[in-house]
Amino acid sequence: MTERVIDLEAVSWRTGRELLLDRVSWQVERGQHWALYGLNGSGKTTLLNLINGYIWPSAGAASVLGHRFGEIDLRVLRRSIGWVSASLQDKLYASDKTQHVVISGKHATIGLYDKVEQDDLARAEALMATLGCAKLWDRELRTCSQGEKQKVVIARALMAEPELLILDEPCNGLDLFARETLLAGIEGLTRQPSAPTLLYVTHHTEEILPVFGHTLLLRGGRVFDRGETQRMLEPSRLGAFFEAPVALERHDGRVYVRPGAGA
């Protein structure tokens, strides 16, 4: 097992005339949880596509989970990465019971085709309990709220025991309370000894829980800065990042930003 989960050295990605990633260098060590923060169009999805091997660097060197791009079998790499994004929910069968949605994550199938072992049931139950959605066990996916569905798909991704779990804007479309419930589930997940490395992708600073100890600030396809979250989310740094003054408030180790000058 390699210690370095993500290792990008001056990685660029070009399509046609567009340079969408520009000399991105980023190292994620095992045991860290990171936030990837950037505004719309900053290149977050492009970077995730690269980490998952859907696109290849035009320049620079990339390794993920010890697999060096150019030498890897992408199927092996992708089996070790869970990527929870909005598009996944649309692919699942709405009439499936949530327990089946979760268990089918073991082999990443849409629908459950494999024989279910007792261990799989127990693991699915434990994961749903960790995420705070055990009560949905017998419910059809279509009857779940958006926040509940997100918990189910995160539990599903964990069934495959990924080494890296990417949560791609998981709170999009959630109301304030559903968001807090989901974040509490994610925090609970990080307390599990078996938790994978988490990468939380967002354009809302207040979703970056203290457990995400490191943050990468991405702007215009470039690393604006990266390092400890508390340092990345300081007013002067964020003001420079946005190229506009911002006022910050901190509560329980989370940072709330609003436009304009202030404390």
Ligand X SMILES: Nc1ncnc2c1ncn2[C@@H]1O[C@H](COP(=O)(O)OP(=O)(O)OP(=O)(O)O)[C@@H](O)[C@H]1O
Q: Does 171 bind ligand X (CB under 6 A)?
A: no
Which member of 13, 24, 38, 181 binds ligand X (CB under 6 A)?
Answer: 38
- CB of 41 or CB of 70, closer to ligand X: 41
Which pair of tokens denotes residue 168?
């791609």
Query: Taking CB under 6 A as the rule, does residue 42 contact ligand X?
Result: yes
Does residue 219 belong to the site contacting ligand X (CB under 6 A)? Answer: no
Does the footprint of ligand X cover residue 222 (CB under 6 A)?
Answer: no
CB of 197 to ligand X, least distance (A): 20
d(CA 106, CA 51): 21
Is residue 205 within the footprint of ligand X (CB under 6 A)? no
Site for ligand X contains 87 (CB under 6 A): no
Residue 118 as a binder of ligand X (CB under 6 A): the answer is: no
Q: Does 46 bind ligand X (CB under 6 A)?
A: yes
> What's the angle, vertex CA 251, arms to CA 250 and CA 253, rounded to 5?
80
- With CB under 6 A as the contact rule, the residue among 4, 10, 25, 41 that binds ligand X is 41
254-259 vs 81-84, strand pairing mode = unpaired
Confirm or reject binding of residue 20 to ligand X (CB under 6 A). Answer: yes
Candidate list 44, 156, 214, 219; residue touching ligand X; CB under 6 A: 44
Rounded Cα–Cα distance for residues 75 and 62 (Å): 16
Question: Which ranges constitute the DSSP H helices of the chain?
Answer: 44-51, 74-79, 86-91, 98-103, 118-131, 146-159, 176-190, 229-232, 235-242
Side-chain half-sphere of 259: how many Cα atoms within 13 Å? Answer: 3
Closest by CA to 132, choosing from 91, 191, 87, is 191
Which amino acid is it at 186? Answer: I
Choose the binding region for ligand X from 12-20, 23-31, 137-145, 186-194 (rule: CB under 6 A): 12-20
User: Applying CB under 6 A, which residues contact ligand X?
Assistant: 15, 18, 20, 38, 40-46, 203
